[in-house]
Amino acid sequence: MNREQLRAYRAEHVPLFNSQKLKLGVFALNCSGGSIITNFPTDRQMTWDYNKSVIQLADRMGMEVALPIGRFKGQGGSSNHNGNSYEVYTWAAAMAAATENIMCFATSHVALTHPVIAAKQAATIDHISNGRFGLNVVMGWFAQEMAMFNVALREHDDRYRYGDEWLTVVKRLWSDDSVFDFEGEYLKLKGLEAQPKPIQRPGPILVNAGTSPAGVDFSARNVDVCFGSPAKPEDIDRLLAVRTIADQKFNRDVALMCSALVVCRDTEAEAQSAYQEILDNGDWDAAHSMLAALGVQSGSFKEGHDERMKRFVAGYGTRPLVGTPEQIVDMLIDYSNRGLHGIVFYFKDYLAELTYFSEKVMPLLKQAGLRH
Ligand SMILES: Cc1cc2nc3c(=O)[nH]c(=O)nc-3n(C[C@H](O)[C@H](O)[C@H](O)COP(=O)(O)O)c2cc1C
């Protein structure tokens, strides 16, 4: 399929490329804490029924993306942030069977999942969902997590070189009907074959969230959606560079998406106070150990005061969307006008707040022309 054919195919068959102007989704529901490093009081439950209820609601709302976090180990601190988590392929498979239209994603740490297993699991979930599976390809950054598998964390850019090879094998298993050998720098594999092929052609939607030059290059070369982490709206303009690189260097389309904590209430004061509650209960120890694992010099962050540290506790560094329904919609209009393809949300209490979002924010998004 050439570029034009692929665009046409996806516009017709793949929910993430449907005619909605701003694609929407839910992120990080499968892990305790999600993307908020705090001990705040919440009615959120780490149960399958709760997970299913939220994603089924997102599906009924017409949202396009259910994206979990791939995590095997907690981040310590008083909350042991993310320490309680559902494994993502099994989560996506069951979610696919429980939904109608939303795309169900898994996340593969390339160094922890063999490409043959990843390709087979992905093809199976693509069949279960009738072409609604997507894969977040992650290089890994959490050395203690990798140690659980006795796998060492490679040097940063080397992780992406390994990821390139890993993905080459996966893509070929999705598309090549012959039996083939693969002789790479890292992977040397014999007699490779995989049937059935995925439903989606040429394979399930691929996403990556690399922000470094090596990560952006990997996204531009290999995946369909790159997730950026804007700390402010203007960052979107810079993050869009991935699309230019994909277009000019690799003759490919890549969409830009991002994630965000949403704290939406009837009044701005209520929203700010609910946001403040997250910070007041911040698990700063877990945040510092996570930043250290990510290789960020967290010593310069002052807990509870520094704006960057607040953003890290309330959304891993991404700008939180805090305000009334009208204010949230204005922020989303601005994101869309800047060229953002879509956004995945997380909430303090997903079920109650997604219900509120459905009632109060979705109608305004429709009025604004971002949804229909
Ligand atoms: C939306 C989003 C989802 C991510 N999901 C995961 C994940 O599930 N597991 C993980 O280990 N890292 C995850 N990451 C981290 C990225 O894969 C990546 O390691 C990080 O953004 C650093 O980028 P870099 O490798 O280019 O330095 C995610 C990041 C974002 C923004």
Domains of the chain by start residue, with CATH? 3-367 (3.20.20.30)
Answer yes or no: is pLDDT of 128 > 90.
yes
Look at residue 296 and tell me whether its pLDDT is greater than 70.
Answer: no
Q: Is 259 in the pocket of ligand 1 (CB under 6 A)?
A: yes
Q: What is the 68 CA–ligand 1 centroid distance (Å)?
A: 11
Whether 309 has a pLDDT exceeding 90, the answer reads no
Give yes or no for residue 297 having a pLDDT over 70: no
Q: Kindly report, residue by residue over 186-243, the tens digit of the pLDDT.
A: 999 999 999 999 999 999 999 999 989 999 999 999 999 999 999 999 999 999 999 9
**Chain centroid to CA 188: how far?**
30
> Which one is predicted more confidently, 245 or 317?
245
Band of residue 308 on the pLDDT scale cut at 50, 70, 90? confident
Question: Which residue reads 């054919």 in tokens?
Answer: 5
Atom 13 of ligand 1, residue of closest alpha carbon: 138
pLDDT in tens, 43-95: 999 999 999 999 999 999 999 999 999 999 999 999 999 999 999 999 999 99
| pLDDT confidence tier of residue 289, bands split at 50, 70 and 90 | confident
For residue 138, pLDDT over 90 is answered with: yes
Q: What pLDDT sits at residue 303?
A: 56
Q: Phi and psi (nearest 5°) for 34?
A: 60, -125
83 Cβ closer than 6 Å to some ligand 1 atom: no
Q: Concatenated DSSP letters for 251-289?
A: ----EEEEEEEEEE-SSHHHHHHHHHHHHHTB-HHHHHH
Task: Report CA(209)–ligand 1 centroid distance (Å).
Answer: 5
List C-alpha distances in Å: 213 to 98, 105, 218, 239: 38, 25, 9, 11
- Residue 189: its H or E element: strand 188-192
Find the length of the chain. 372
For residue 302, is pLDDT > 60? no
Alpha carbon of 320 to ligand 1 centroid (Å): 17
Amino acid at 186: Y
